[in-house]
């Protein structure tokens, strides 16, 4: 068993090789928010879950859809509103109980419940039914040709274990709830939870009874996961040999890591856009110094703020070239993205100031910006740069930077007026963006839309996407929705994020996953 050592002692180590041929010591800036697989729709949370739990379908580390707990799936020949999934036989949960269709039905119904963060992905499903122990049918409200793509982060839980431990209800993170499922796990995945100290250390060991033995390399037999928020400390841990793999090499340290014998940095575009959201729907907001009005409600103010953000300066200075300036809140991976939509806003500071003056805010105003400091690459530094840029047009920003555990509830509870968010699109389709970020907040849509924007006509178009089988019609609807989002300046896009994974030369894998979800069952160790 590998023993974690202090950074001081680690600095004395000359070798950067793996501590053993089977153990990977893994670090990144922030921890998983919970082990409850339906409680948060958040990248690092899903990444840890993918080691323990499994979906019916997953995207491998090249981004391609692959069978997981389901072996195959197709639309029913008798009913176009039904998807039939055949389940893998001989699978057991970590406690030895058998995986059956009953667990799938239970898990999807749980993921559709009120406190689930995953329910937007399932809003076209009207029934999930077990045909037999290894066949499940998903009945949708009209044909849904892209339904399987929504399942890649929908993890299956053991119905019996969940009931026995009193966690049939999904943990309500936004309300500050904690449950047994938040710190314990019983999945079918390649790794078993050995210990969990949130924000400190999580240890996983290989599942010797995993169904994928012989199908995947499974060279990694033990994972020691340590969140290290401080960038300098995280890099020092890699350089000294205390950790073997970090997902987020700071841009300023890439050359240093690459120049260290025994270490390498692998880089790839990420399926994620970083942007700012604004509460434009409220008549008045609390986060500003304007009495009785909401300056963000005026489209001219939003346009001026969009013009004032110098994305190329952020790319060059803050990101050191490790970003791609963006004009829309979807990356090029996504169906619906176009170069025209992604064009950067035209204009200059003089035009932006003129718009502010036309809107009646020539003397400016003050507002609070809520920003995470442990989630995205250089997140707080980006916010600091934008503070200075907006100040040039009279928008005086008070920066409130805090951990993602405190930041995300502000968005989900709609208690922020100006905020940073990053959005990946695991379905690779614009419907995912619209469901979470554009649709009016309801029980099953709009959970991350803290803009106050509500448009019944746009809502209807979004809802139609799940059942539109004419691809030309669907594509036109997607384009129409994007035109509205861009015209309204609902969000202020900044850039598409770039991934920089740092590791020892002993580690190898198919590619840097565009969704930033390393799956250790694919890793090989030389």
415-437 tens-digit pLDDT: 999 999 999 999 999 999 999 99
The CA dihedral of 504, 510, 516, 521, to the nearest 10 degrees, is: -80
* Per-residue pLDDT at 369: 98
* Per-residue pLDDT at 16: 39
pLDDT-derived band at 15, boundaries 50, 70, 90: very low
**Is residue 524 classed as helix, strand or coil in its secondary structure?**
strand
pLDDT digits (tens, 9 = 90+) for 186-220: 999 999 999 999 999 999 999 999 999 999 999 99
Task: Identify the CATH number of the domain defined by range 7-262+505-525.
Answer: 3.40.190.10
Two tokens, residue 517: 């979800």
The CA dihedral of 108, 110, 115, 120, to the nearest 10 degrees, is: 10
Query: Is residue 7 predicted with pLDDT exceeding 90?
Result: no
Helices (H), 282-369: 299-308, 311-313, 349-358
* Per-residue pLDDT at 18: 53
Query: Is residue 478 predicted with pLDDT exceeding 50?
Result: yes
* Per-residue pLDDT at 129: 98
**Cα–Cα distance measured from residue 366 to residue 458, given in angstroms and rounded to the nearest whole number:** 31
Residue with structure tokens 């019996």? Answer: 160
**Domain span(s) for CATH 3.10.105.10 in the chain:** 269-498
% of residues, the chain, pLDDT over 90: 94
pLDDT digits (tens, 9 = 90+) for 77-121: 999 999 999 999 999 999 999 999 999 999 999 999 999 999 999
**Domain span(s) for CATH 3.40.190.10 in the chain:** 7-262+505-525
Query: Is residue 21 predicted with pLDDT exceeding 80?
Result: no
Helices (H), 209-334: 231-240, 254-258, 299-308, 311-313
Query: Is residue 223 predicted with pLDDT exceeding 80?
Result: yes
Query: Is residue 35 predicted with pLDDT exceeding 90?
Result: yes
**Cα–Cα distance measured from residue 338 to residue 122, given in angstroms and rounded to the nearest whole number:** 27
The values of phi and psi at residue 19, to 5°, are: -65, -35
Average pLDDT over residues 345-359: 94
At the fourth CATH level, which superfamily is domain 269-498? Answer: Dipeptide-binding Protein; Domain 3 (3.10.105.10)
């Amino acid at each position: 068993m590998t023993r974690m050592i202090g950074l001081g002692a680690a600095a004395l180590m000359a070798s950067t090789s793996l501590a053993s041929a089977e153990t990977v010591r893994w670090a990144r800036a922030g921890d998983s928010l919970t082990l409850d697989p339906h409680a948060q729709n958040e990248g690092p949370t899903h990444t840890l879950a993918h080691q323990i739990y499994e979906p019916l379908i997953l995207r491998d580390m090249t981004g391609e859809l692959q069978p997981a707990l389901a072996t195959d799936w197709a639309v029913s020949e008798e009913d176009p509103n039904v998807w039939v999934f055949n389940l893998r036989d001989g699978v057991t949960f970590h406690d030895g109980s058998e995986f059956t269709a009953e667990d799938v039905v239970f898990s999807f119904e749980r993921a559709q419940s009120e406190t689930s963060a995953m329910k937007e992905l399932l809003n076209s499903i009207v029934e999930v039914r077990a045909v037999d122990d290894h066949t499940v049918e998903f009945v949708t409200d009209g044909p849904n040709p892209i339904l399987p793509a929504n399942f890649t982060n929908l993890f299956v839980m053991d119905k019996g274990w969940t009931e026995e431990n009193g966690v049939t209800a999904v943990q309500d993170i936004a309300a500050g709830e904690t449950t047994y499922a938040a710190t314990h796990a019983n999945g079918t995945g390649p790794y078993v939870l050995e210990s969990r100290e949130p924000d400190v250390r999580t240890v996983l060991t290989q599942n010797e009874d995993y169904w994928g033995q012989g199908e995947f390399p499974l060279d990694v037999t033990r994972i020691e996961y340590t969140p290290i928020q401080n960038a300098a400390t995280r890099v020092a841990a890699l350089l000294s040999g205390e950790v073997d793999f970090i997902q987020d090499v700071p841009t300023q340290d890439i050359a240093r890591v690459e120049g260290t014998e025994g270490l390498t940095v692998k880089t790839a575009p990420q399926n994620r856009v970083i942007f700012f959201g604004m509460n434009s729907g409220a008549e008045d907001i609390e986060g500003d110094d304007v009495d009785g009005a909401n300056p963000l409600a005026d489209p001219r103010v939003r346009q001026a703020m969009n013009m004032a953000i110098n994305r190329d300066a952020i790319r060059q200075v803050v990101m050191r070239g490790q970003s791609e300036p963006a004009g829309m809140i979807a990356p090029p991976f996504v169906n619906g993205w176009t170069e025209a939509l992604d064009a950067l806003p035209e204009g200059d500071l003089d035009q932006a100031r003129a718009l502010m003056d036309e809107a009646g805010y020539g003397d400016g105003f003050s507002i609070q910006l809520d920003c995470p400091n442990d989630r995205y690459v250089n997140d707080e530094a980006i916010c600091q740069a934008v503070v200075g840029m907006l100040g040039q047009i009279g928008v005086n920003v008070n920066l409130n930077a805090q951990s993602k555990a405190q930041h995300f509830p502000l968005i989900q509870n709609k208690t922020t007026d100006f905020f940073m968010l990053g959005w990946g699109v695991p379905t690779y389709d614009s419907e995912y963006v619209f469901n979470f970020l554009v649709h009016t907040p309801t029980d099953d849509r709009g959970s991350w839309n803290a803009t106050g924007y509500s448009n019944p006509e746009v809502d209807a178009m979004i809802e139609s996407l799940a059942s539109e089988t004419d691809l030309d019609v669907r594509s036109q609807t997607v384009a129409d929705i994007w035109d509205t989002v861009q015209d309204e300046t609902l969000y202020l896009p900044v850039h598409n994020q770039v991934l920089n994974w740092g590791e020892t030369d002993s580690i190898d894998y198919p590619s840097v996953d565009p969704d930033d979800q390393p799956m250790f069952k694919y890793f090989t160790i030389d």
